């Protein structure tokens, strides 16, 4: 093969990569100039983290890269400070069905919701729910409450990327969407036998 024909695609690839970097820098500059932090909506949430950028690329990351991301994200999980994984399921229900929080119109003391209903079926009485995520109906009833299952569920809520690098589920604890106390309440909503999740 002609050496010039071999060099041309390489040069084109470098040119496109440089152009993409320039566009990314220009985009970041535009975002910096257009937005500012307000209340609980911090501007840093507009920017992709490195692992998010990997998952947004045109090509699926390699299995090795995905495992590396998951291992790194696993380190971010903070287990309950008092060793207790559940709180009040009634409060958890309110958190799960609330989509409020992290918008520029929210005041600094606004309590975030979990917005869980946007992606999951949760309760036997729900009229509307999302289907991006799996149904969580009868969550505790079907899965039990072994230590392994409870810890898995806590970790998944805290940072789903630790279990599936390119998961659509938000990093509720790691990204400070929900507090530890709120996550305990959502855990109770999923596991408590008296919760509408487990009891028709």
* 10-67 pLDDT tens trace: 444 545 456 556 767 787 788 777 777 776 667 666 666 777 788 888 788 899 999 9
Name the token pair of 63: 């299995």
- What is the structure's pLDDT at 197? 97
Q: What is the largest CA-CA distance in the chain?
A: 73
Give CA–CA dist 57/85, Å, rounded. 36
- What is the structure's pLDDT at 43? 64
* 168-179 pLDDT tens trace: 999 999 999 999
Name the token pair of 38: 């307000």
User: Is the separation of the CB atoms in 160 and 170 below 8 Å?
Assistant: yes
Name the token pair of 133: 């995520």
- What is the structure's pLDDT at 31? 72
What residues form DSSP beta bridges with 3?
none
* 62-103 pLDDT tens trace: 999 999 999 999 999 999 999 999 999 999 999 999 988 777
Band (4; pLDDT cuts 50, 70, 90): very low
């Amino acid at each position: 093969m002609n050496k010039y024909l071999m060099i041309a695609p390489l040069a084109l690839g470098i040119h496109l990569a440089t152009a993409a970097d320039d566009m990314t820098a220009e985009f970041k500059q535009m975002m910096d100039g257009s937005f500012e932090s307000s209340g609980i909506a911090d501007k840093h949430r507009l920017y992709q983290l490195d692992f998010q950028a990997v998952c947004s690329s045109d090509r699926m990351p390699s299995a090795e890269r995905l495992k590396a991301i998951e291992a790194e994200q696993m380190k971010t999980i903070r287990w309950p400070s008092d060793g207790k994984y559940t709180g009040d399921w009634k409060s958890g229900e309110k958190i799960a069905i609330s989509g409020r929080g992290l918008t520029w119109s929210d005041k600094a003391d606004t309590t975030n919701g979990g917005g869980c209903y946007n992606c999951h079926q949760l309760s036997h009485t729900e009229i509307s729910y999302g289907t991006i995520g799996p149904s969580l109906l009868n969550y505790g009833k079907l899965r039990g409450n072994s230590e392994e299952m409870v810890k898995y569920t806590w970790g998944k809520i805290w940072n789903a990327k630790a279990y599936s690098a390119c998961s659509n589920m938000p990093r509720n604890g790691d990204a400070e969407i929900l507090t530890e106390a709120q996550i305990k309440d959502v855990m109770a909503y999923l596991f408590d036998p008296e919760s509408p999740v487990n009891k028709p």
